[in-house]
Every structure is written in C-alpha cells, then in structure tokens.
Homo-oligomer: A and B are copies of this chain.
Amino acid sequence: MLSPMTNFSFTPNFSNKAPVAHPTIAHSWADSFETMGTSMSFGRNAEIYGENEPAEYLYKLVSGSVRVSKILNDGRRQISAFYLPGDVFGLEISSEHALSAEAITDVEIILVKRSAIEALAARDTDFARQLWAVTGRELQRMQEHILLLIKTAQERVAGFLLEMASRVKCANEVELPMSRQDIADYLGLTIETVSRTLTSLEDSAAIALPTSRRIVFRNRMALQRLNA
C-alpha cells in the first residue's frame, strides 16, 4: 500500500544568517521569520523531521512542496497536510513531533528555533497575534480535511482539486507536485480509486489531464457541486 521510498537524497545545505538576538521589532511576520531563520535545502523524498524527534523548530517553505504524514502500525500512511511555498509547518504542541515531514520535490526551507519564536512572541504582541493566526488557519485547514474524509470518492477528489487550485494562484490549471499515492493517502482512498475517479472526472468533461500531474479545469461548477 505504501510505495517504497527511492531517490532518498538528503542534502542539508546550510547557509548564513544567525538568529538576531537584540529585541528589534520586525516590521512584518514574514520579515521576522526570515531574519531569524536558517535556510536549508532537501532533496526529493528526504525526511525533514521524523516522528518522535524533538520538535525544536518551526519551518517556512520557500520553494517546493512538503507532505506531513504518520505511519500507522499496520503500515498504512495518513498524510495530514501538504505545504506549498509560503506556508509554515511544524506547529505542534508537544515537545516531540507526532508526525513526520518529507520533501515531495526538492525544497528550500527556512527554519527558526521554537525558543526564538516563543521569545519574540513574548516581546512582540503583534508577532504573537500573527503566530496565533497561523495556528488558527491550520486548525481551519484540518477542519476542512475532516469534512473531505466523510464524503464519497468523487467528492473527496473534487474537493482536493479545488483546494489545490485555490492555494496556487492559477486560473484554471494546476501542476500537482504529489503522486497519486500521496493523494490517496491524503484522502483516505486507494491509489486505484483516485486514478479511476480522475479519469471519470475527465470523461465527464469536468477536467482534462494533459499529463498525469497536470489538471486543467474545464467545468469548475461541476466540481463545486460535488464539493457539498
């Protein structure tokens, strides 16, 4: 059920920029994050952090895509979320990660020590508010994920496509970074059901599939009707 992880190239690529210690109030959330952080790169399928590792950092994705997942004891994998450039991930309450994060494509990320985040949040009310807002958006995304999981296969796939479309600012076309297996594990379906559902959506002229990873929206309304 779980495809073997090949192409496991771990390429930590440290680059400059130490955390700023003095209490300068940064002008924006993005700025503070980037001036405080360390930049790193990972190759496709590299593990960014693993289950049960200490959760020392918060991560901001600069380029590429990331999946956050958990392996159940019988080998099934649940993907909790996909992250795209600009997203912050690694937000976990416990001091250890309950989930693991992997690079779907080659990725560039900025990581910031949790302790530094907390220190800044304590000094800078506005920063704390924005941190809180990011957490809230994460909560909202999880809520929508739950709503997907109680629906039929067609509704899940349609909802997934619409979610991805809304996250990349692209009019009527998306290049999916993740495999069918990743989509299946996100939606709680099998790879075969995802594939069959996509072809059936193509047959009904809701989408076109010029390549297996590229989705062209031909009838967005049809998808939205499915997205109860």
B-binding residues in A (CB < 8 A): 70, 72-74, 76, 78, 80, 91-94, 98-99, 118, 121-122, 125, 128-129, 131-133, 135-140, 142-143, 145-147, 149-150, 188, 228
A146 contact from B125, B131, B142, Cβ within 8 A? B142
Per the bound structure, the CA–CA distance linking A78 and B151 in Å amounts to 10
Q: A178: shortest Cβ distance to chain B, in Å?
A: 17
Question: Contacts of A125 on B, CB cut-off 8 Å?
Answer: 122
Q: Which chain B residue lies CB-closest to A147?
A: B78
Q: A163: shortest Cβ distance to chain B, in Å?
A: 15
Cβ contact within 8 Å between B140 and A142: no
A139 contact from B129, B133, B142, Cβ within 8 A? B142
Per the bound structure, the CA–CA distance linking A72 and B139 in Å amounts to 19
Q: A150: shortest Cβ distance to chain B, in Å?
A: 4
Cβ contact within 8 Å between A143 and B73: no
Per the bound structure, the CA–CA distance linking A76 and B151 in Å amounts to 10
Cβ contact within 8 Å between B150 and A149: yes
Cβ contact within 8 Å between B98 and A188: no
The 4 closest A-B pairs by CB, nearest first: A93-B136, A150-B188, A149-B149, A142-B142
A135 contact from B74, B80, B136, Cβ within 8 A? B136
Per the bound structure, the CA–CA distance linking A73 and B98 in Å amounts to 34
A128 contact from B76, B128, B136, B147, Cβ within 8 A? B128
Cβ contact within 8 Å between A93 and B149: no
Cβ contact within 8 Å between B150 and A73: no
Q: List 24 A-B contacts (CB under 8 A).
A: A70-B147, A72-B147, A73-B228, A74-B228, A76-B150, A78-B147, A78-B150, A80-B143, A91-B139, A93-B133, A94-B140, A98-B140, A118-B129, A121-B128, A122-B129, A132-B135, A135-B139, A138-B139, A139-B142, A142-B143, A145-B146, A146-B146, A149-B149, A149-B188
Q: Which chain B residue lies CB-closest to A99?
A: B143
**Known interface pairs A128-B121, A135-B132; A93-B140 also in contact (CB < 8 Å):** yes
Q: A165: shortest Cβ distance to chain B, in Å?
A: 20
